[in-house]
Chains A and B, each alone.
Chain A
Amino acid sequence: MAKITLEHLRHSYMANPPTEADWALRRLDIVWDDGGAYALLGPSGCGKTTLLNIVSGLLKPTEGRVLFDDRDVTDLPPDQRQIAQVFQFPVIYDTMTVYGNLAFPLRNRNVPEKEVDQRVRQIADMLDLTGRLDSRASGLTADGKQKISLGRGLVRSDVNVIMFDEPLTVIDPHLKWVLRSKLKELHQEVGRTMIYVTHDQTEALTFADQVVVMNLGEVVQVGTPVELFERPEHTFVGHFIGSPGMNVLPCELANGGASIDGHRVAVANASALKQADGALEIGIRPEFVSFADEGLPVNVVKVSDAGRYRIVDTRLGDHSIKLLVSEGETVPSERAYLRFDPERTRVYCDSRVMT
């Protein structure tokens, strides 16, 4: 049990990275509190797995430190860090029974057999594996095998953090949901720190209390699912989370306000607006755009049915703006006006929200 602090982390797989783009992790400072449920969310290649391997000790960072509480563990190998990890593909010891698999980490640490037995049965019970304890692990389905990998982390009482590296990749869709709720339930039951790496926003947002969104080796935002949705600090977060993603439109500053192609738009961070060198953009989620009697003049080009709501695609000049319309509502044909919710509209400078 420990608080995890990542201090000024940088990592590159090259000996002397010539450019900034050669760093797998560019600069990271994160503090994870003891007992929290965290998710690391980002597209493939953003450095999530690198970060995970640094925390678990499978990789040594090029620069920076990893602290468990106040102990510097940067140079410690995985087995001395008291961590557990569930991998993308189930890792089980084929020749052992389910029981043998669960007991393996304890037996390696010379725990007395009596205690091993007690722990294994307790964990098997939590994971609904009790009935299969004596079967060979290789005979289980993918979700059963992932439960075993998780179980090997849970049996140890000394584990500081359990890490998941896209653990649901090989699980059937209908079981993903089951396993995800099981994870959430387990987290509440055992109170261990859990870090969940994924590129799937649904997995991240349903599992975690705090989501760390990463892109190109950098953390772009840390926040609760609600914060990420309602107040994205980076256009990447807006794009990556939500479906469809946030509308991002180039804008200019005029008379202390923002406007798109000469049409003035009220924004939430109006007080922070100042002349800046970077590219200015307005970000607004489709959920917060609605049809109105006046506002931005657009052409409706496409309506797609997404079940309980419809996604309407409109054009303002060259820019595409999407909005969600609920089932009963009528969609104007061709010419229409759009209204942006001022509280949810923000101006971004070089992709970062202006503050």
Chain B
Amino acid sequence: MNKTVNQKAWFFVLPVLALVAFNAIIPLMTVVNYSLQETFGDNVFFWAGTQWFQDVLGSERFHAALGRQLLFTFTILVIEIPLGVAIALAMPRTGPWVSVCLVMMALPLLIPWNVVGAMWNIFALPDIGLLGHTLNALGWDYNFTRNPGDAWMTVILMDVWHWTSLVVLLAYAGLVSIPDAYYQAAKIDGARPWAIFRYIQLPKMKRVLTIAILLRFMDSFNIYTEPFVLTGGGPGNSTTLLSIDLVKVALGQFDLGPAAAMSLIYFLIILLFSWIFYAVMTRNEEW
């Protein structure tokens, strides 16, 4: 078959290209620019080479923030993925309750992120918050503004509350797309519920779960708004995740060079991890 060649098509792509250049490529290049130079204001720049990158990679503060970030992302993935799958399995596949369940599941996703942070902040306040007050009344000395452990627990709880729904909806979509014949065949083959899950539901959900894991990984690695509103990175630096630290460096200390280097490293880490996840989860599979 002959391909139709029409150079005019490029004109249709131009607006998008201009938009992307304006809001992605130019800012990104500015960041690259900053990461290689030193400035003392007045728009005067000096070449700094890879100095900032070496500084960031060698700094204990960055290592600590990265460690907290990895711990946070790992924890929420370990909780949200199995929990999301379990909830999706428990949801009805037919009948009037389907839409009720779906709407209830979608609700947390519809709330603006800073509102989620504010909600949980109030919810968890040790003296007047429903959660905080209840825990204290039960005899647990709970205070997320003072104890790092409590702060971590609250941040993770908030993320699980906010984002498990996404995993549920994706996993549910995967589940309902399984034709009835598979369940019927499994019944006839005498498969028990575990075998049905292991050999039918899980393999059929694999693709959507890959997407769910990737999305949750990227989003949680980027997370800023909710923990910032809830704990502001405290107490101390205990919940200062990478993005919060980055904002502190860039806007708090106005160290543009190191902040630019840090954000590039940050970006590459996410890219690398996403690629690894994707490669591992889709190996020996024909898409």
Contact = CB atoms under 8 A, between A and B. Distances in A.
A96 B188 contact: no
Contacts of B191: 104, 108
A77 B188 CA distance: 9
Given A96-B199, A108-B195, A91 B185 contact: yes
Given A91-B179, A96-B199, 6 more contacts: A56-B188, A78-B187, A79-B187, A85-B184, A85-B185, A95-B199
Interface string A49-67: 0000000101000000000
Given A87-B185, A88-B181, A108 B192 contact: yes
A257 interface: no
Contacts of A149: 185
B190 A109 contact: yes
B188 A104 contact: no
A87 B195 contact: no
B199 A77 contact: no
Interface in A220-274: none
Given A79-B188, A109-B190, A89 B199 contact: no
A78 B184 contact: yes
Interface string A62-98: 0000000000000001110001110111010111100
Interface of B: 179, 181-182, 184-185, 187-192, 195, 199-200, 203-204, 286
Contacts of B179: 89, 91
A93 B199 CA distance: 6
Contacts of A78: 184, 187-188
A105 interface: yes
A87 B187 CA distance: 13
Nearest to B189: A105
Interface of A: 56, 58, 77-79, 83-85, 87-89, 91, 93-96, 104-105, 108-109, 138-139, 149, 152
Contact of B190 (A79, A85, A95, A139): A79
B93 to A, nearest CB: 16
B191 to A, nearest CB: 5
A79 B181 CA distance: 14
A95 B190 CA distance: 18
Contacts of B182: 91
A interface SS class: mixed
Nearest to A90: B181
Majority-rule SS of B interface residues: helix
Contacts of B192: 108
Contacts of A89: 179, 181
A77 B187 CA distance: 8
Nearest to A80: B190
A87 B203 CA distance: 20
9 contacts: A56-B184, A58-B187, A89-B179, A89-B181, A94-B203, A95-B199, A108-B189, A108-B191, A138-B286
Contacts of A138: 286
A95 B185 contact: no
A149 B190 CA distance: 14
Contacts of A87: 181, 184-185
Contacts of B189: 79, 104-105, 108, 152
Contact of A91 (B181, B190, B195): B181
Nearest to A105: B189
Contact of A84 (B188, B195, B199, B204): B188
Nearest to B204: A94
A94 B203 CA distance: 7
Nearest to B195: A108
Nearest to B179: A89
A108 B198 CA distance: 13
B98 to A, nearest CB: 19
B188 A83 contact: yes
Most buried by B among A83, A91, A96: A91
A105 B191 CA distance: 7
Contacts of B188: 56, 78-79, 83-85, 105
A262 B199 CA distance: 69
Contacts of A108: 189-192, 195
Contacts of B187: 58, 77-79
A9 B200 CA distance: 33
A89 B181 CA distance: 8
Nearest to A109: B190
Contacts of A79: 187-190
